[in-house]
Amino acid sequence: MRVSENILISSLTTMRLGGPARYVIEIEKPEEIPDAYGFAKTYHLPTYVLGGGANTIGRDEGFNGVIIINRIKGIIDIDKFTIKIMGGEIWDDVVEYSVNKNLTGIEALSKIPGLASAAPVQNIGAYGQEVADVLTEIEAYDTKTNTFCTLKRSDLKFSYRKSILNTTERNRYFVISITLKMREGQMARPFYNSIEKYISDHSLTDFSPKGIREIVSRIRADKLPDPAEKASSGSFFKNIYLNQSEAESAIAKGYPVHHGKDGYKINSGWLIEQAGFAGQLLHGMRVSSTAALVLINESATSYQDLEKARNEIINKVYDKFGYWLEQEPNEILNESTLKTIKNNVGA
């Protein structure tokens, strides 16, 4: 267990914003977890569990608490189709490992940044696959009971970008490992439009897990900035989900509504493009010209810069289409800031 003091959150997150965290603790073994939470309790400090920092935003005031980072490594084959992955493993390495075993189930989740421990928290998904489809259980530390436990898939109550880990039981569990059960074979067609278009444009015929991983990797490289090279948090806005009557109304207006296994949705990137923001620089934040739901930090130096850009986009999209965009990345909040937000919402 490594303890550091006064570490800038901007150095831990891919958007590269955020003031100092009072303490940062890096966990390398499961048995260190109780000590980390005990450290925070001794000093009466809140905790925040951080993964790779790709889906997290820091604020200017920093965090008067303890940020705990999962550095526990290891990938274990349980059987031919089942893999246990320790939470500190890089997610894309997990995808590569699975396709090298010719297993299908997560190949479309290639190049999603972050750690394995973060995958079930927000039920990561892309191109018709999501981690909920293959996850069987997680091992975790329960900070409420101070015990190690196992949670089954049904316990996590997965939905679009949600689980109990980021809703009803937010901050309760520290994810130690995840177990995935996949199968041999390949994704069923038709694929998502962007994959089908790429296949057609390049006359491809390999739809094996490795083939789909290669296609998705190329699509993402063409559209999405690498957080290691350009400061961003990946997809900054969630897509808009609609019920059937809302979808019918949207279709009647000429909006592109996609109907998949998770329901009807409109791509937020399309809404942002139609609102005229693609490629625009707003308060130091560049709206990606190739994937408008992505914000790139070109010259923003504060959370306020990001907030201004975000609100400008949200308000104009609402004025034009009547849909409220919702931010996807989490924010590291001090208790005082959280109380202020709750009071403002309730006002």
Q: Is 288 helix (H, G, I), strand (E, B) or coil?
A: coil
Phi, psi of 261 (to 5 degrees): -65, -25
Active site residue 235: yes
3-state SS record for the chain: CEEEEEEEHHHCCCCCCCCEEEEEEEECCHHHHHHHHHHHHHCCCCEEEECCCCCEECCCCCEEEEEEEECCCCEEECCCCEEEEECCCEHHHHHHHHHHCCEECCHHHCCCCCEHHHCCCCCCEECCEEHHHCEEEEEEEECCCCEEEEEEHHHHCCECCECHHHCCCCCCEEEEEEEEECEECCCCCCCCHHHHHHHHHHCCCCCCHHHHHHHHHHHHHHHCCCCCCCCEEEECECCEEECHHHHHHHHHCCCCEEEECCEEEECHHHHHHHCCCCCCEECCEEECCCCCCEEEECCCCCHHHHHHHHHHHHHHHHHHHCCCCCECCEECCCHHHHHHHHHHHHC
Residues 72 and 176: beta-carbon distance below 8 Å = yes
- Of 59, 153, 161, 213, the catalytic one is 161
- Of 235, 286, 288, 310, the catalytic one is 235
Residues 128 and 187: beta-carbon distance below 8 Å = yes
Active site residue 328: yes
- Annotated active-site positions, please? 161, 235, 328
